[in-house]
Structure formats: C-alpha cells, structure tokens
Structure 1
Amino acid sequence: MDTIAAPILKRSQRVIDLQLPERADIAPPSVRQADLEVLAEVPEGFLDTTHFDTVQFPPPDWAIDRFAQAARQGELAYTGYSGHNGVLETVAKNVSRFLDVQVDPKRNVALTPGTQAALFSVLASRVDAGDRVVVMDPDYLFTARIFRFLGADVAYAPLVLREGNYEPDLDLIETEFRDRGATQLVFSHPNNPTGAVYSPEIIRDMARLAVKYNVGIIADELYSRLVYDDVPFSHIAAEEGAFDLTATLLGPSKTESLSGYRLGVVVGSEATMQGVENILSVTSLRAPAYAQHVLGGWLGPDEAWLQERIGLFAELRQQTIKRLSGLEWMTFHPQAGTAYLWADVRALDRSDVEIGKALARDAEMLISPGYQFGPGSAGHFRICFARESKGWATAMDRMVDVLEGLRR
C-alpha cells in the first residue's frame, strides 16, 4: 500500500518575517529558532528568569474577589469592544490622575486582553507596509516582531550610556523624523530590558520632536509604577501638544502580578481609540469581560500595597547587584525602574545562544538573551530578580559558577 505523504501547509511570509530572520548573524537562523534551541536545554524544574514570580509575588487579595463577584453576574459576560462602561469610567478617572491629563472614558481609553494586545492593536491601526518606524535598541522584543509582521521598515535607535544612564540618541531620532520620513516612534518606559527611566528633559525633547515632525508616539509604560528611590517619572502624553499623537499603554500584569487576568489599557486620542476598536473587532473582540472589573482596584486605590511591593523588589535588586558585582569582567548599570537587570557579558566572547544554552543546561536557569531586544544588543542578557530571596541566592550562585566556567 502506498504511503500517503503528510500535507504541507503554506506559511505566509508574514509568519516567516515574524521570526526576525534578519538577525541570523546573532541568532541563527532566526530569533525564534534560536529561542527554541535554548529552550531545548532547560531541564525539569528549571528557574525561569524571563518573568516575575507570581507565586512569591501574588496579585493583591482584592483581585480574585472582584473577579469572582463579576463572574457571578452573567450579564457582565459581554461588553463593547473598548470595555465595560462602568470600568472605563473608573479607569479614566484613575488614569487622568496618574498621567496628569484629562481622560474621557468614552473617547480616550480602551481595555485590551493584555498590554501585548494593546501594542498590537495600536501598531496595526497606525502602520502600513513600507512605513518607516523608529524603535529603541534595546527594547521590548515583540515591538520589532509586530512591525515585521506588518511589513514596516524598522529603524533602530541605539540607547547611549551617559554617566551610568541609558538614554535615547535624540539626534539620530530627529534625523529619522526629518530626513527619512519615519511615521512612528515606539519605546518602552521604563525601558525593557535595561530598566532605564528617562529624565523629564529627555521626555520633553522627544515630545517636541514628535510634535515638530508630526510623528506618532507609542509609549509602553507597563512598568511606570515600578520606579525606585523617588526618581521622577514623566509621561510623554502629558507634554505640550503630545497627547493627540500618543498612545500610552498601561496595565497591571507585571508590578501587580495580574498577568493571568489578561488586562491592558490604551490611552490616547479618539482617533486612536477608533483604530484600536477596529483591530479588537477582528481579533479578540474585547478584554476578558469578568477580569475587566479587577481594574476597579488598580492605579490609585492600591497605593499602600504598591509601596510595600516596591520595597520588596528594591531589596531583591540590591541582593542581585551585590552578588553579581563580584564578576569583574561583567558590566551592568542598574537603572531606576523595572525588576530587571541588563548584563553586558561580551567579555565572555561567546554567542548569546551559547551562553543561554549553558545557563539553561548547567545552571538550570532560563535567561532572556540580548539578541531578543535588538540587533545591537548581542553580548547581553536580561534577568528578572522578582523571586523568592533564598532560592534566588542559590540560583545566582549556580549562574556565577557557569559564567565563570565560560570565562575560563
């Protein structure tokens, strides 16, 4: 009997581009395939430093209560694309105070299934194939992947290290706006992966450039509540003339450990919200309807809880800095935000994939390799220190042993 060959399904070029094959020199043959190679090395029970530990740092107690109360009311199962009207009113009130701008619940805010969906919805509604867009390097991995999916022409603006702080190269960004026709500027703030919090002066200058050249802004401020030592945080949407250009992305998934509830918030002009609604209508329809009601306790009512949590993160931050400072060949510059540490390990003279595999296999630890965050970010890696203190100390000992072995 003849064997019937398995059918081969066509993959769209969009899916191939989504894997970022253009970074093959630092992540062969593509970012996605390199990730899979590293993942193949992790043993059972490995420590995943790519995200926050939601066991050690669970959501606030009120989250599940608010969710359960909503779930008991079947009429709340469906909402408009932007979200439940009552929740939108509460979120708009709290966001207005947080951003220091007036936010209308009917015109300026939409809820999404996670900040990832917020990012995709805004980018998909603003960007056409061939559009020139500017992204920081390093910055959040999926921004570049979404742009490649959309067929955008991506320009990377490397962060510059000045006096221990990572900062955008404003001259380069202006060149992209003025001479190369860039239509959008996208950045995370605080920066993911470095944790950099940009000074009020830098945020003001970025806003002025965007207003001058009529460039759209997407500011991913997912970590904007996780800032240490009373460092001032400026929201670009509040700068003169910037609100109508800016889509601000917020959410409770990280600092508040609410990732499992899949909640994101987009704040911007009425035109931005119309675009987001259109994308939601053909993707997810709405943020999880019962989970939306959890946002009633977020961004204001939970301030005391937030300060306690930031204090715990600050202790882990110092623990991490102290332990890794013993590696004289490793360079890192702790920044003022997030629960991440961005390490420069170029002195190892090893590829990101090789380092990732060694740490997975021998330290039983999964890290986020530098190639994920930008074409100029090879030779670095990101770790999340939001973990249980004693277990984290033991894990760092294993990591140091493996890295020292690679150094030798």
Structure 2
Amino acid sequence: MAATRYSVEARRLLRTHLPERSDALGMSVREADLGLRLDGAGHGLLDTTHFDTVRFPPPEWAAGVFAAAAEDGDNAYTAYRGGAEVLRACARSVSTLLGVDVHPEHDIAVTTGTQGGLFATLSALVDFGDVVALADPEYLFVERMLRFLGAEVVRVPMVDDPAGPQLDLAALEAVARGGIRLLLTSNPNNPTGTVYTEQTIAGVGRLAVEHDFLVVVDELYCRLVYDETPYFHLAARPGLRDRTITLLGGSKTESLSGYRVGVVVGPPEVIDAVEQVMAISCLRAPAYAQHVLTRWLTDDVEFVRDRVLELRALREMTAERLRQVDGLVVQPGNGTAYLWPDVSALGLSDVQVAKALQADAGVVVSPGYQFGPSGTGRFRVCFARDEAVWSAALDRMVLALNGAAS
C-alpha cells in the first residue's frame, strides 16, 4: 500500500495564499509573491518595500537606552503586556498623542512590533466565520492574517475626494447592515498615503455605534503627515473610546523597526485578551528593547519634525521623476513615505511592472495585488532612501517602465 501523503501546510496557512484571487492574477497571491521573490530579503537589489534605515537611522538615544536596559538582567523578564516602567511612560505619552486617558495597567500593551500587535489583536478578537470589513487597498498582510484566522473578509473601497481617497462610508454602511465583527483600516492609509478627513472619521464612528462593531485602526504613520494636514484620532471621538483599538509604534517614522516593539491601546477587556495571545505566542515583546519606548513620543519631537521635512522633499522628487513615464499617474498622499502610482495606462499588469523594475532597474517594489483587488495596475514604492542613490534608481525606473510599455 502506498504511503498516505499529507500536505505540510495546515489548511489555515493555505488560506493565506488567497487562492480566490487566482481568477484575476492567474495564480494565488502566494505564488505571485514567490515568482517575484518577495520574501523581504531584497536579494541584492534596491528594496523599496521598506525604509532605508541607514539613511534614516533611529534617534541617537535609542541604542544607549537599549544598552542600559540590557546591563540589568532584572529587565529580561516583564509582565506579558510589558514592563511596568515602560507602560507608565507609554501611557503618559500615548494619552497626550491620542487625546484620551490611557491607564498603564488596563488600557495598553507593548507588543512585538506593530505587526505582532496587529496579529495578537486580531487573534484575540476574531473567530472562525466572523465577518470583517477591510479597507481596499490596505496593508498587504492584514487580509492574510484574517484568512489565517478563518474570517470572512469583505472589502470596503475608497472613493475620490479633494483631500485624497477616503473610505466609502456608504459601502461600509451596506456591509455593516449585514453584521460585522469589526472594521480594520490604517490612517494614514498604507499604501495610498491618504489621511482620513474629520468627516470620514466621524462617519466611521457613527456607523460603529449604530451597527455595534469594533474598529481596529493602524496609526503607525500618524506622525508622518505633510503640509500641516489635520489628523484625527478615532479613539478620541465621543463614544468611540470603548470600541476602538489603536495600533502605534516607532518602527517607521522613528526607524525603530529593528527593536521590534509596538503598542496596542484599547478597552481593558481587549488588552487582557491581547495579553493572553502574547503569553502563548511570544511571552512578551523584546524586554530590553521595550525601554526605547520610554523616550518615544517625548524626546523625538524635533527629530520627527526634521524627518518629515526631509521625506517631503523626497516625496516631491519621486513624484516628479516618475511622471516622466508616459501614462503613469501618481498622486502623492498627505502621509506615510509611500507613493501608489497607477500604471494601468501602460498596458502592463502590476506583476509585469514589478518584474520589469527588478530585471531592468534593479529595484524591488510592492505590486498592487498585495494590497487588495483595487491594487491591480498599481505598485507601492517607499521613497525613504538616500537621495543620491534614489535619484539614480529613479532614472533606471523611468527607463525600464518606458521601455516595458513600448
């Protein structure tokens, strides 16, 4: 009798391949990623899927704070939700940032980066079969996390607005009428860079109360906003404090990504549940690294101000240069360090564009399909790079895209 052959990957992991997108892509999302070698390694190419942390390093104090914490072995083990000193400092600074009172023992947890915080939060809140509304487009790993957890994902599109694309509130209301567990979105939005207006935030809050759903909002880039664009925290809206879970961190604007620490803020029962997930998955965020959060949001105000100015100049340079590609459309958002160019007029798919840029320009970009169905014909590029190196890369990209489209 022949031996029974088993799939190595569990069914829950196979769901993260998003095979239902095969009709549009011709393959699963996982297969498309593998074909483009999108595994975070870069493979010797200029990788624009993340920030250049050589050109944009962390604040000078970060390494010293980490080293001082590491000198005391008593710091190695903390409560699962974070060390008491760190939580007290974060509660104070996050309260000021959000405009809400954050209690250090009940309302906040330190997580393994914002990514780990996102997964812990969703694992704590989402059951198999729950309906989750997800912005389209949205950060590439969110839908995969939700599918891993067995959720039914319903995409909510963006609509054009003078302030930049905004969440379609009418579409959200239509979904909410059928019953949803939660809405998940990012603000500023990754990948579009759009910042939600006060009207959008108010509309989301109204619908959350009327239809009784939670909102998980990733505010990782809330300090990376250009031209004094107004920013509104959902948790600060009347009646939203107890149904909003806010994800924060210093991994991008402050380049603290290598320290792998983030923050989740929410109602006490949610934080308790997040702590349970952390206890069985990672025990705690990196204990010595947690201490960099004691100076985050307080000792980096001028640092962030200067960084935003530098990134704004890079944003303008990148948009101007990419517009040299015939038919390419780019509309910079008011936040993040990403652009979301539309290349559909070039007659190329986003996979073809990504392949051409790797082969002919030596540049890795994030193809639009990763961010949702609306990403077809787009790509995401991070412009937080060394100016001279990036200028040369943009020259190659323009040549490669014009050549591929001809």
Normalised by the length of structure 2, the TM-score is 0.96
CA distance in 1, matches of 2:64, 2:53: 17
- The 3-state SS of whatever aligns with 1:124 is helix
What residue is the counterpart of 2:98 in the other structure? Answer: 99
Where in structure 2 are the equivalents of 1:67-106 lying within 5 Å? 67-106=66-105
Alignment deviations for residues 204-242 of structure 1 (CA, whole Å, 9 cap, x no partner): 111111011110100000000100011010000000111
Separation (CA, whole Å) in 2 of partners of 1:397 and 1:311:
23
The amino acid across from 2:69 in the alignment is A
Aligned partner of 1:406 in structure 2 is 404
Given that 1:187 and 1:218 are in contact with CA atoms closer than 8 Å, whether structure 2 keeps it comes out as yes
Matched-pair contact (CA < 8 Å) for 2:48–2:382: yes
What is the 5 A alignment of 1:372-383? 372-383=370-381
1:99-131, CA deviations, whole angstroms, 9 ceiling, x for partnerless residues?
Answer: 000000000000001101111111111111111
* Structure 1 residues 262 and 28, CA gap change in structure 2 (3 angstroms): farther
2:345 to 343, 347, 364: 347
Which amino acid is 2:13 matched to? V
Give 2:143's aligned residue.
144
Q: Distance in 1 between matches of 2:364 and 2:38?
A: 11
Aligned residue identity for 2:324:
G
1:267 aligned partner? 265
Once the two structures are TM-superposed, the CA of residue 189 in structure 1 deviates from its matched residue by 0.5
Is 1:14 equivalent to 2:38 in the alignment? Answer: no
Aligned-partner Cα distance in 1 for 2:304–2:294: 15
Aligned residue-pair number:
404
* Aligned twin of 1:194: 192
Offset, 1:244: 0.7
The answer (yes or no) to whether the contact 1:164–1:333 under 8 Å persists in 2 is no
Q: Given the alignment of the two structures, is residue 252 of structure 1 paired with residue 244 of structure 2, yes or no?
A: no
Backbone CA RMSD of aligned residues: 1.8
Aligned match of 1:318: 316
The answer to whether structure 1 residue 63 and structure 2 residue 62 are counterparts is: yes
Q: 1:302 aligns with which of 300, 320, 345?
A: 300
| Contact 2:195 2:231 (8 Å CA) reproduced | yes
Q: How far 1:202 sits from its partner (Å)?
A: 1.1
Partner SS for 1:186: strand
2:160 matched residue in structure 1: 161
Letter in 2 for 1:113: T
Q: Which has the higher contact order (CA 8 A, sep 6+)?
A: 1
Q: Distance in 1 between matches of 2:103 and 2:136?
A: 34
Structure 2 residue identity aligned to 1:124: S
SS at 1:159's partner residue? strand
Residue aligning to 1:356:
354
1:229-264 deviations in Å (ceiling 9; x for gaps): 110100000001111101100000011111110011
Structure 2 residue runs of 5 or longer lacking an equivalent are: none
After TM superposition, the structure 1 = structure 2 runs for residues 164-179 of structure 1, keeping only pairs within 5 Å, are 165-178=164-177
Q: Distance in 2 between matches of 1:203 and 1:401?
A: 41
Unmatched segments (≥5 aa) in structure 1: none
Counterpart secondary structure, 1:331? coil
Matched, 1:289 2:265: no
CA shift for structure 1 position 28? 3.8
What is the CA distance between 1:288 and its match in structure 2? 0.2
1:226 to 224, 227, 251: 224
The one-letter code matched in structure 2 to 1:232 is P
Task: Kindly indicate whether the alpha-carbon contact (under 8 Å) linking 2:130 and 2:152 is maintained by their aligned counterparts in 1.
Answer: yes
Mapped contact 1:26–1:352 kept (Cα < 8 A): no
Q: Which amino acid aligns with 1:125?
A: A
SS of the equivalent of 1:165 reads coil
User: How is 1:106-125 mapped onto 2 (pairs within 5 angstroms)?
Assistant: 106-125=105-124
Report the TM-score, using the length of structure 1 for normalisation. 0.96
Structure 2 CA distance for aligned equivalents of residues 276 and 312 of structure 1: 36
**Deviation (angstroms), 1:345:** 0.4
- Contact 1:57–1:257, Cα closer than 8 Å, also in 2: yes
In structure 2, how many angstroms separate the alpha carbons of the residues matched to 1:320 and 1:195? 14
State the distance in 2 between where 1:129 and 1:6 align.
Answer: 28
User: Offset at 1:160?
Assistant: 1.2
Q: Secondary structure at 1:379's aligned position in 2?
A: coil
